[in-house]
A = this chain, B = another copy of it.
Amino acid sequence: MRALTAWAPEGIPDIRPRTDLVSVIVQALRSGEPPADGDVLVVAQKVVSKAEGRVRHLAEVVPGEEAGRLAERSGKDPRLAQIILDEARAVLRVRPGLIIAEHRLGYVCANAGVDHSNVGLGEDWVCLLPVNPDESALKIRRAVGDAFGVDVAVVINDSHGRPFREGTVGVALGTAGLEPLLSFIGQEDRYGYMLRASVEAVADELAAAANLLQGQAAEGTPLVVIRGARFIRGTSVTGKLLRVPEKDMFR
């Protein structure tokens, strides 16, 4: 029978700038069920970003003219608008309270991923996305592989809103050790009809499944282990998940 299990190891301490996140993860895994070949470790973006020092203090930001205009249109703090502009390669939509931007790495999301929640340094601090989430994932994959002698995949996840549907869902920002897309094209369905267009964003579905355990409030469960998921091992290019603007009909 096909089955999967997912759990959130306990005992992960507060993650601050310069916390050695990789060691924290290895330690948390040592204290519980050890990882096995084929497990997927899903790690919340927020702790990756914080450990990598990807935080900024609004007090240290001098907003430029463009940020001033963006602040006016959105009703946001001009200093926050400046940070969003620093992170974005394009601002796609603005309305009061909301800025949808294309992050420099290609993700389309609110505020180019700049976020106030769960930063823990004070009201005026915000957190940015990791510089290279694939590399962050690879470091964790290697450290866990070295510590336990197992081959695990890693997904760095975040919660993003999306067009057409309310609410956020977990998505993959970075991956290591798995192909983010699983293509069924050329395979036959159970009646012999050849599938022509089926490509499943497995990394995003793993990110969403983990999000069910991570929560967004005070739970503090940034690490989830998923065992039994079907995926194809591969070298990580999470960029494959991001549709290039020229091919996107809704940008």
Contacts and interface: CB of A to CB of B under 8 A. Distances in A.
B166 A240 contact: yes
B5 A191 contact: no
Interface in A179-199: 180-182, 184, 187-191, 193, 195-199
A146 interface: no
18 contacts: A3-B7, A4-B212, A93-B250, A159-B200, A162-B164, A165-B201, A165-B204, A169-B169, A169-B201, A184-B216, A184-B217, A187-B217, A188-B218, A190-B219, A195-B216, A202-B212, A206-B212, A213-B230
Interface of A: 1-10, 14, 32, 93, 95, 98, 100, 107-108, 110, 116-120, 123, 159, 162-171, 180-182, 184, 187-191, 193, 195-202, 204-206, 208-209, 211-213, 215-221, 229-230, 240-243, 248-251
Given A5-B5, A170-B205, A162 B159 contact: no
Contacts of A209: 205, 208-209, 212
Contacts of A195: 117, 216-217
Contacts of A230: 212-213, 215
Given A1-B8, A7-B2, A243 B208 contact: no
